[in-house]
Amino acid sequence: MAKGSVGVATKKRVHVYYSGRVQGVGFRLTAEEVAEAMRIVGWVKNLNDGRVELVAEAKESKLLSFLEQVRTGPMKNFISDEDIKWSPAQDCFQDFDIRYY
């Protein structure tokens, strides 16, 4: 590994589908606020089937903390299931957004 890429190797992408009563309860706004406070990039959006989809990138340890805050924070009673997939970061985000499409 090159000297300049030391931190890059530890960046990850997490892709999560949340199920439960996760739409219309401030879930996306909460996820956005937590992500921005932690300097995590990505996006969150509602799906037509009632789930919420979230994609985020940062160091793995930071993403684990982010997921824990989402899971145990004000939205904890609305989440019935999480489908989590990990992959290498693609470094294609500048910030964290709520998507409407």
Kindly name the residue from 39, 46, 48, 99 that is annotated as catalytic: 46
Is the pLDDT at 101 greater than 90? The verdict is no
pLDDT in tens, 2-53: 444 444 458 999 999 999 999 998 999 999 999 999 999 999 999 999 999 9
pLDDT at residue 10 in the model: 82
Kindly name the residue from 28, 39, 71, 77 that is annotated as catalytic: 28
pTM of this prediction? 0.89
pLDDT in tens, 45-75: 999 999 999 999 999 999 999 999 999 999 9
pLDDT at residue 7 in the model: 46
Question: Is 71 marked active-site?
Answer: no
Distance from C-alpha of 26 to C-alpha of 81, rounded to nearest angstrom: 17
Hey, what domains does the chain have and what are their CATH numbers? 10-99 (3.30.70.100)
Q: Which residues of 53-86 are buried (b: 16+ CB within 10 A; e: fewer)?
A: bbbbbbbeebbeebbebbeeeebeebbeeeeeee
Average pLDDT over residues 69-89: 96
Question: Is 46 marked active-site?
Answer: yes
